[in-house]
Structure 1
Amino acid sequence: MVKKVAVIGSGVSGLTAIKACLEEGLEPTCFEKSCDIGGLWRFTDELEDKRASIYSSLVTNVSKETMCFSDFPMPSDFPNFLPNRKYFEYIKLYAENFKLTKYIQFKTTVCRIEKHPDFPVNGQWNVTTESDGEKKTAIFDAILICTGQHVDAEIPIDSFPGIKMFKGKVLHSREYKRPVGYDGKRVLIVGMGNTGVDISTELCTLASQVYLTTREGVWIIPRLGKDGYPFDLFFLRRINNWIENLVPRSVSRWMLKRYLNNRFNHELYNIQPIHRIFWKEPLVNDEIASRVLSGSIIIKPGVTKFTETDAHFSDGSIVRDLDVVILCTGFGYSFPFLDESVFKRNENKGNLYKKIIPLGIEKPTIAFIAFLLPIGPTMVAAEIQCRWATRVFKGKSK
């Protein structure tokens, strides 16, 4: 009997999940609550509830050769680093080429996923969905969770004393779409990740002054690499991996630090990371150095408190008369449709085998796809995870 698999979400992970199911002879049904595929990469000017959001100017951080699926190369006329609309076009081409959309039920919300009464024996799931006001429940042999990790904005209010008193505008980066309405404003951007730096380099051409905070520092990698090629074509090579595994870890880290600081002296710009190299996701940006040198972006340490108009920082400095605060404090993820006996984030964080299947579950028939932060493109990791998970469902892998 062909096993039925429910795929939750039709973003990049959901699409490659559908394809992996088909390759293993499984029968996928994908549930997508919006009207189209693409997930994070489908830009809209309106902020949609419970859906990932991006800004209009977003460009990929890795080159097209690195972030394409293994069996579907990017079109040759696509640029090396893709604006979000171009990557969405690629996703559309991928779905059309492998005829994936016919397995998707659009405008269908997953309300509940719970274990079938005989789960310890058959590993099956009851999936309740709603579409056009009508609820349905169906039985599936396995589940692939592909809802993404850029939906629930994390706003650590307790980390910013006094921010509720601030009289200017406060928003999370999830709400930022275009650089409209920032002319002549004094803007503080909290968080020096890829999003924070992208927004700061865009707004600094319009705002009277942009301040960018970092508590821990960050390693910066330019898109432009050796001999004018994309940086990752040089960086992600077998010889570099061979050297890293051959020499002591301390030596390989020193070599990488030296390479990065030769391109951009992090200590000089007050962003030298306090942690081990690549302990967290590196930053990919080509503009930040020139913007800091020109003074249009001023780097500040961590915020200690806010007043009605000002921000205080850990070095004792104060920035006065701020108009806007943008919190680039990242995202969390949650599964309100999933029974907590299967996965409770606060308790189960890190308790996913291979970062995919919950430890201790009676039957390995549920997989969480792309809930990780690799040094490299998440979509490539998602493809490999789906291949492995579907083989586990099929009984080909343990």
Structure 2
Amino acid sequence: MQDTPDIADRHDAVCVIGAGGSGLAAIKNLREQGFSVDCYERETSVGGAWNWRHDRSPVYANTHLISSRPLTEFPDFPMPDDWPDYPHHSQLLGYLERYAKHFGLGDSIWFGTEVVAVTPVGDGRWDVTTRSTGGGAERIQRYAAVIVANGHNWSPKPLSVDTSAYRGKVMHASAYKDPAQLRGRKVLVIGGGNTGCDIAVEAAQQATTVWHSTRRGYWYAPKYIFGRPADQVNDKMLQLRLPLRLRQWLYHRTLRLTVGDVTRFGLPAPDHRPYESHPVVNSQLVYYLGHGRITPLPDVARLEGSTVELADGRRIEPDLVITATGYLPRFEFLAPELLDIDEDGKPDLHLHAFARKHPTLAVVGLVQADAGLFPLAHWQSVAVARWLRLRVSDPVRATAVQQKESTRPLRSWTRLRVVPSSRHWFEVSHTSYLRTLEDLLKQMEPVA
């Protein structure tokens, strides 16, 4: 296509959206494949969700990893050996800042710049409209490909019940930042995921009264099993390729021995098998339940006046309600059909990464794994970068790879049996997923 005065053609350059962990990995691996890269980051520094200074960061003062250090670090940039098993969020931010500096990624990032629109213009190319977050004129640049790494833990999922008639304070977990917000309050935490459990535990140490409402029963895993981080024990079982039913039995048996029967604390029994939901990793929830500092409750039916009515008809009067309802993926700059987004907001992507109808559009980091995200984002971005390079160097072979990948069984790279909720849209077993990426990379290896 011919360039026009108001569109700057960047020719073979690739646009990356977001400079969090996934975006940084994408920049690095694209540049290693010889691509020029322009990364647009709406904030003024790197880190994404792990940078607590960012408006959209869900991080609060006491946030730590729930995946252990060896299963969270980038494979080509290890975390320090003297770090704890579960690093603090400030350590994670420093780690990402050092990663960006080590690989010299800063000169590819345009900070304080948000992407307004991404539009296909034919021949696999894209017009990317940007503007300064401080205002000003929009700018359009044309790219050979677009990699989206805008994260999926920043757009709060609304509570399913109306709160407009409630006079107490209601806030999403993303607005919770410091234990002082809980001090001396009567707190209701809604949501049984990791964030909801963590905030309930913090409230148990600060608030006068703590209720914890969950919709269903969960499997609550301690952070340590047999003296090792729990995810490392699970990783060993996956490496041994133990059958799922055997792993489920071992998991259930281990929790019986370490955590015990949680129904005796008033929690509902899990309505699903182990590994059919994202693991809740929390060693302290049962401790505070056992000490009477947290009162478990069923789902919330209504909020009105000063009262919260529960599904079983009981009523409570909290003065602070924290909704730990999770997040939904949002791609405001893309037309929904580009990622095959359905009416619920779920995109349909091959390997949760490759747009099915647009071979030069991909998303990095849109996975929910039983381990840390960074290793998966690294190998996703390696696969995307090599795919884009193959399209340039050997388009015939690239077509053959694409045709073969289109027949790959869904069960080989994603979990099919999971609890039906948006929390599990992108659930994968990290070992199965990495094996699938390894197979894809082998298909794209240079021919001798």
- Give me the TM-score of the superposition, normalised by structure 2: 0.80
Distance in 1 (alpha carbons) for counterparts of 2:255 and 2:115: 45
Distance in 2 (alpha carbons) for counterparts of 1:140 and 1:257: 50
How many aligned positions are there? Answer: 379
1:146 corresponding residue in structure 2: 149
| Residue 128 of structure 2 corresponds to residue 127 of structure 1 | yes
| Residue 281 of structure 2 corresponds to residue 284 of structure 1 | yes
1:164 corresponding residue in structure 2: 164
Which secondary structure does the structure 2 equivalent of 1:205 belong to? Answer: helix
Which range moved further: 138-147 or 385-394?
385-394
1:41 corresponding residue in structure 2: 50
RMSD of Structure 2 on Structure 1 (CA): 1.9
Distance in 2 (alpha carbons) for counterparts of 1:106 and 1:377: 26
Residue 329 of structure 2 contacts residue 346 of structure 2 at CA under 8 Å; is this kept in 1?
Answer: no
Residue 340 of structure 2 contacts residue 348 of structure 2 at CA under 8 Å; is this kept in 1?
Answer: no
Which secondary structure does the structure 2 equivalent of 1:346 belong to? Answer: coil
1:274 corresponding residue in structure 2: 271
Residue by residue, what CA displacement relative to the aligned partner does 1:239-266 show, whole Å, maximum 9, x if unpaired?
Answer: 5443523xxx434322221112221123
1:325 corresponding residue in structure 2: 321
Residue 360 of structure 2 contacts residue 388 of structure 2 at CA under 8 Å; is this kept in 1?
Answer: yes
Pick closer, same or farther for the CA change 1:66–1:127 going to 2, 3 Å: same
| Residue 21 of structure 2 corresponds to residue 12 of structure 1 | yes
Distance in 1 (alpha carbons) for counterparts of 2:293 and 2:70: 33
What displacement does 1:128 show?
1.2
Residue 6 of structure 1 contacts residue 142 of structure 1 at CA under 8 Å; is this kept in 2?
Answer: yes
Distance in 1 (alpha carbons) for counterparts of 2:31 and 2:315: 58
Residue by residue, what CA displacement relative to the aligned partner does 1:363-386 show, whole Å, maximum 9, x if unpaired?
Answer: 400001111211211222111111
| Residue 230 of structure 2 corresponds to residue 253 of structure 1 | no
Pick closer, same or farther for the CA change 1:356–1:372 going to 2, 3 Å: same
Distance in 2 (alpha carbons) for counterparts of 1:80 and 1:181: 28
Match of 1:312 among 297, 309, 331: 309
Which secondary structure does the structure 1 equivalent of 2:38 belong to? Answer: strand
Distance in 1 (alpha carbons) for counterparts of 2:25 and 2:238: 29
Residue by residue, what CA displacement relative to the aligned partner does 1:124-146 show, whole Å, maximum 9, x if unpaired?
Answer: 10111113613221111111000
Residue by residue, what CA displacement relative to the aligned partner does 1:80-113 show, whole Å, maximum 9, x if unpaired?
Answer: 2111001111111111111111110111111111
Match of 1:377 among 353, 372, 378: 372
Residue 334 of structure 1 contacts residue 345 of structure 1 at CA under 8 Å; is this kept in 2?
Answer: no
2:439 corresponding residue in structure 1: none
- Give me the TM-score of the superposition, normalised by structure 1: 0.90
What displacement does 1:267 show?
3.0
Pick closer, same or farther for the CA change 1:350–1:275 going to 2, 3 Å: farther
Residue 41 of structure 2 contacts residue 113 of structure 2 at CA under 8 Å; is this kept in 1?
Answer: yes
Residue 19 of structure 1 contacts residue 98 of structure 1 at CA under 8 Å; is this kept in 2?
Answer: yes
2:191 corresponding residue in structure 1: 191
Pick closer, same or farther for the CA change 1:114–1:137 going to 2, 3 Å: same
Give ranges in structure 1 of 5+ residues lacking alignment. none
1:1-398 to structure 2, matched below 5 A, reads 3-44=12-53, 48=55, 51-116=56-121, 119=122, 122-131=123-132, 133-156=136-159, 159-161=160-162, 163-226=163-226, 228-237=227-236, 239-245=237-243, 249-265=244-260, 266-269=262-265, 270-319=267-316, 321-343=317-339, 345-347=341-343, 349=346, 351-359=348-356, 361=357, 363-395=358-390, 398=401
Distance in 2 (alpha carbons) for counterparts of 1:68 and 1:201: 27
Give ranges in structure 2 of 5+ residues lacking alignment. 1-9, 392-397, 402-448
Pick closer, same or farther for the CA change 1:78–1:57 going to 2, 3 Å: same
Which range moved further: 128-137 or 6-15?
128-137
Distance in 2 (alpha carbons) for counterparts of 1:151 and 1:178: 18
What displacement does 1:38 show?
0.1
Distance in 2 (alpha carbons) for counterparts of 1:181 and 1:41: 21
Residue 11 of structure 2 contacts residue 144 of structure 2 at CA under 8 Å; is this kept in 1?
Answer: no
Give runs of ≥4 in structure 1 deviating > 6 Å: none
Distance in 1 (alpha carbons) for counterparts of 2:180 and 2:82: 31
Distance in 2 (alpha carbons) for counterparts of 1:243 and 1:152: 36
Which secondary structure does the structure 2 equivalent of 1:200 belong to? Answer: helix
Residue 197 of structure 2 contacts residue 285 of structure 2 at CA under 8 Å; is this kept in 1?
Answer: yes
Distance in 2 (alpha carbons) for counterparts of 1:217 and 1:345: 30
